[in-house]
Amino acid sequence: MSKAVVNVKNVRKTFGKKNENQFQALDGVSFDIQAGEFVGIMGPSGAGKTTLLNVISTLDKPTGGTIEIAGTDITTMKQGQLADFRSEQLGFIFQDFNLLENLTIYENIALPLSLQGVSSKKIKPSVLKVAEKLGIQAILDKYPVTVSGGQKQRAAAARALVHEPAIILADEPTGALDSKNAKDLMKAMVHLNTNHDVSIMLVTHDPLSASYCERILFIQDGSLYKEIRRAGSRNEFHQEILHVLAEFASPHEME
Ligand SMILES: Nc1ncnc2c1ncn2[C@@H]1O[C@H](COP(=O)(O)OP(=O)(O)O)[C@@H](O)[C@H]1O
Ligand SMILES: [Mg+2]
């Protein structure tokens, strides 16, 4: 049996009805994410990154192909099953944190477990454990408005992790952060990935954030364009990423 936590096979997504203006946002995409891997998704605007994230996160259905997460084919599941699957197996981190302002940081982190009906007695050790992993024990009683952007985003990461999902899906998580906080968040994610074996799929425009990944999949026009794996230092990987992105900008590569 393969150890893939995500297996995407020949996934297509067409927007628009038949006989109308159809748009093929994903055109036969295939890849695996192994358990414990930290994979970045990059590509120009309109390439299909968000569409790909949405079909993997069960928020949208692909038009064709299969997607297995932790061994389960999510493309054949019914709506009700999908909601359960999502809340148990997936963790989400968004650009704008999505913390609830009238809940404390503790209550925000506890939310995925509260929503699953886990008792507050069982919730507490899980929240404390994950808060320690992310170094935010000191702010648990505070409200989001009173903490920094970087702390908010680490709280959001803790919330994504508290129910021990099969994979964390992050859509531009550093997009609203300054460079110092962006680096801190990426370091925290690397720490979770290397020390706690958390599998992460990160969609990002930012080459610096992407340089913290182990492997990057570049997509263009709904297809996989290239895949690179980090071999040397993070700096070297950053340069390599910049080179691939420059290929997108060069017209003769776009044919
Ligand atoms: N709901 C939709 N209806 C029609 N076209 C869409 C829809 N969502 C996305 N698209 C199109 O699919 C393509 C890929 O979009 P998206 O996945 O958002 O790209 P990215 O996130 O890489 O910028 C774009 O051309 C976009 O206009
Ligand atoms: Mg997008």
Tokens of 81: 């099953």
Dihedral Cα 94, 57, 72, 114, nearest 10 deg: 50
What was the pLDDT predicted at 71?
93
Q: How far is CA 47 from CA 8, 27, 190, 220, in A?
A: 17, 11, 26, 5
What was the pLDDT predicted at 2?
52
User: Could you list the pLDDT tens digit for every one of the 255 residues in the chain?
Assistant: 458 999 999 999 999 988 888 999 999 999 999 999 999 999 999 999 999 999 999 989 999 999 999 999 999 999 888 988 998 899 988 877 789 999 999 999 999 998 888 999 999 999 999 999 899 999 999 999 999 988 998 999 999 999 989 999 998 888 888 898 889 889 988 988 988 888 999 999 899 999 999 999 999 999 999 999 999 999 999 999 999 999 987 655 444
What was the pLDDT predicted at 251?
58
* Pocket flag, ligand 1, residue 63 (CB < 6 Å): no
CA distance 186 to 205: 14
Tokens of 17: 């009805």
What was the pLDDT predicted at 30?
98
Q: How far is the CA of 48 from the centre of ligand 2 (A)?
A: 7
What was the pLDDT predicted at 249?
73
What's the number of CA atoms in the CB half-sphere (13 Å) around residue 43?
25
Q: Where do the domains of the chain lie, and which CATH numbers do they carry?
A: 39-60+84-253 (3.40.50.300)
Q: Which ligand is nearest to the CA of 94?
A: 2
Q: How far is the CA of 187 from the centre of ligand 1 (A)?
A: 30
Q: How far is the CA of 122 from the centre of ligand 2 (A)?
A: 37
What was the pLDDT predicted at 254?
46
